[in-house]
Amino acid sequence: MDNNVLWVLIAIQIFMGAFDTVVHHEGSERLAWRPSQKTELRLHGVRNFFYSVIFLCFAWSEPHGLFAVVLAAILIAEVLITLWDFVEEDLTRRLPCTERINHTLLALNYGAILALLVPFLWEWAFLPTKIVPTSYGWWSAMATLAAMGVGLFSVRDLMAASRSDRLDRGDPAKLVEGLPPRQHVLVTGGTGFVGKRLVEALVAAGHFVTVLTRDPRKAEDLAHPVRMITDLEQVHNADRVDVIVNLAGDPIANWLWTATKRARIISSRVEMTKALERLVKRLDDQPKCLINGSAIGWYGFQGDAILSEEATSAPAFVHDVCDSWEKAALDVEKEGVRVVRLRTGLVLGVEGGMLARLLTPTEFGGGVIMGSGEQWMSWIEQDDLIRVIAHAIADETLRGAVNATAPEPVRNRDFTRALARALHRPVSFSAPAWVLEKLLGEMGRETMLGGQRVVPTKLLRTGFPFRHPEIEPMLHRITGAKVVPSLSNETWARSATPL
């Protein structure tokens, strides 16, 4: 098989396959953490195993006789699996345009490879049955590395498929079961990580949901039926709006904090909240409450100090963001609407947010402690946050700042180790603080190296029961680990007893 054109096509196939896996399957689509993609993961696992065999065979041998026939059968099986995979993808998810283009190029390139391979396989099939060792220099080395890579992903995808059923979180309607029936809820930021799950829960429970979004294409993935609008002017004065949940805002940690990015982070939140104030003023019947987003960044960074809703703040950019957002919400309160300012901690779930970015590196043995690991992480599981939002809507005694965090904050090193244990992997690295500051500047210093030790005093006083008060059992459960550690008696008491 000493044909440089054929080897170039194989190299192109390897590169495009790696791009598809890393950018789409592991990046934008995150297939390993989507229960709906169990069959697709199994197909990928089997196909990657075949690819591993094919690459190793091409790298170091010429299969003659019966072995050539077996190799031809594997190549044909790969085509059939790929066709099955195309059908499965169309039935279960909406593919990004880049993935469709990449799949088309992969299919065309694979066809060219098969066309060049057929003469070799035909000749080898009529030779005496044996495997003839051979080598093609750098081409063999490349194919060997590719075989190792696809073999690793084959094992990973098959294991991910086997845990898919354990990722099922049950009926989303139960997350908002405390709400009065048939509420009309306006959600801004409804296509984000938290908003999407909130909309799913509200729709499943039979409530009427209006989602404000700048990009209607993102709303295609929402649970339906929902009413989609792109501007608050599309809400008529006579429309009924019982509750507004305001989660909209430019992402904080997706880019360096340039002057332009800082301004956009603050203005996107303030301007949306002011627009909601104008909406409240013109509606014939005012909403009963506004659940307004904020974050524990309001407190700044105060070391080991325990921070309840009564705590003061310390200077930080994240404080400036939250403070501006909360002050805008106070103007809505002046109109007679009950306003709850949710100071949310790190929201943890396998479908998005910070945890989603850590799962794949940790699963491949790349768990990283940030800096010293001493910084506090005040967190809340995604579904618990949806339950907090429903609780804040239903409990009319709740108003003002409310800490939406689990009762047991943890240090970064303990979180990293707990995640690694949930995935049965080691913690391999520690990222020095100076490296993070050098690469990410103030954003790295505040979002990765800073932290707050926040407690949900108001929620506990109103009797809110956290389903996930402790980090280790929570991580085991949401990542589909087979064995989930039990909660300590002390933790159960703290999560269920008002302070």
Confirm if 363 and 426 have CB atoms less than 8 A apart. no
Cα-Cα-Cα-Cα dihedral of 83, 89, 95, 99, to 10°?
Answer: -40
pLDDT of residue 367: 87
∠ CA 367-373-378, nearest 5°, is 95
pLDDT at position 490: 56
Angle, alpha carbons 408-413-415 (nearest 5°): 45
Q: Is 203 helix (H, G, I), strand (E, B) or coil?
A: helix
Work out the angle between the directed axes of helices 317-333 and 433-447 (0-180°, nearest 10).
10
**Using CA atoms, how far apart are residues 67 and 73, in angstroms rounded to an integer?**
10
Phi, psi of 300 (to 5 degrees): 70, -150
Which pLDDT does position 438 carry in this prediction?
87
C-alpha closest to that of 332 among 374, 395, 409, 276:
276
The identity of residue 339, as a single letter, is V
Global pTM? 0.90
Looking at residue 284, its pLDDT comes to 95
User: What is the 8-class DSSP label of residue 376?
Assistant: E
| 379-381 vs 410-411, strand pairing mode | unpaired
Radius of gyration of the chain (CA): 27
Alpha helices in 192-316 (DSSP H): 193-204, 259-282
The whole-number pLDDT of residue 491 equals 55
Ranges assigned E (strand) in 345-498: 346-348, 367-370, 376-377, 379-381, 400-404, 410-411, 427-431, 453-454
pLDDT in tens, the chain (499 residues): 778 999 999 999 999 999 999 999 998 899 999 999 999 999 999 999 999 999 999 999 999 999 999 999 999 999 999 999 999 999 999 899 999 999 999 999 999 999 999 999 999 999 999 999 999 999 999 999 999 999 999 999 999 999 999 998 889 999 999 999 999 999 999 999 999 999 999 999 999 999 999 887 777 788 889 999 999 999 999 999 999 999 999 999 888 899 999 999 999 999 999 999 999 999 999 999 999 999 999 999 999 999 999 999 999 999 999 999 999 999 999 999 999 999 999 999 999 999 999 999 899 888 899 999 999 999 999 999 999 999 999 999 999 999 999 999 999 999 999 999 999 998 878 889 888 888 888 888 888 899 999 999 999 999 999 999 999 999 999 999 977 787 665 554 455 444 4
Mutual orientation of helices 412-422 and 471-478 as an angle, nearest 10°?
A: 40
Residue 364 confidence (pLDDT) = 87
Kindly give the interhelix angle for 38-60 and 4-19, rounded to the nearest 10 degrees: 150
Give the model's pLDDT for residue 499: 40
